[in-house]
Structure formats: structure tokens, C-alpha cells
Amino acid sequence: MAFARTTDPQTSHDAAASVGNISKVQHAILQILNGRGMHDENMIAQYRMWQELGSDLYPQATDQSIRSRRAELVKMGLVKACPMKEKMSTGRLATVWIRA
């Protein structure tokens, strides 16, 4: 399964080829975190925005499923925690995730 669009830059194609066998949700998370870090709440909001825009690269997934797929990417070494923390809508600090 190809995880980069034909219009994506070569770096996206290289990254897609390097990740091996990942799910569509995991791939979507990597796309969201490409070049920027964010905590889970913002990552989920970004995921939902792309879904609403009709992107077929963002399949249906619950918020918990998105967090679980992000945790799997951490275990795979493709995503890591950033030393920086950001406030969520609740005012609590959250881990910021970046691509490894």
C-alpha cells in the first residue's frame, strides 16, 4: 500500500518507504506530525479536520484508537516525546509528540 500521494515531495515518498507495514491511521498520524510537534488533543483535532475535508487518507477512528496508534508508533521508534510540554484545553500540561 502506498502511503504517499503522487503530488507529495520525494521526502514523503522516502519516509513512506521506510516505515514498512503500518496502518492507515498510523500513517495519517505520521503525516500530521510531519514537520511539527503536537500533543494528542491537537493531533486528534487535526485528524478530525482532515476527515471533515474528505481526505481518504484519514479513516474512521475513535479518539482512543488514534492515541493507541500514536503509542504504537512510539514503540516502533517512529514518533518520540519532545522535551517541551503544551497546555491542553483543560489547562493541564501534555506531552508533545514529534516524528523521530
**CA-to-CA distance for 6 and 42, rounded, in angstroms?**
27
Instruction: With respect to residue 95, please indicate whether it lies within any of the assigned structural domains.
Output: yes
**CA-to-CA distance for 28 and 46, rounded, in angstroms?**
10
> pLDDT, tens digit, for every residue of 41-68?
999 999 999 999 987 889 999 999 999 9
Instruction: With respect to residue 14, please indicate whether it lies within any of the assigned structural domains.
Output: no
Instruction: With respect to residue 40, please indicate whether it lies within any of the assigned structural domains.
Output: yes
Domain tally, the chain: 1
Instruction: With respect to residue 16, please indicate whether it lies within any of the assigned structural domains.
Output: no
* pTM of the full structure: 0.77
Instruction: With respect to residue 83, please indicate whether it lies within any of the assigned structural domains.
Output: yes
Assign residue 34 the CATH number of its domain.
Answer: 1.10.10.10
Instruction: With respect to residue 5, please indicate whether it lies within any of the assigned structural domains.
Output: no
**Sequential DSSP letters for 43-94:** HHHHHHHHHHTT-TTS----HHHHHHHHHHHHHTTSEEEEEEEEE-TTS-EE
**Domain coverage including residue 64:** 21-99
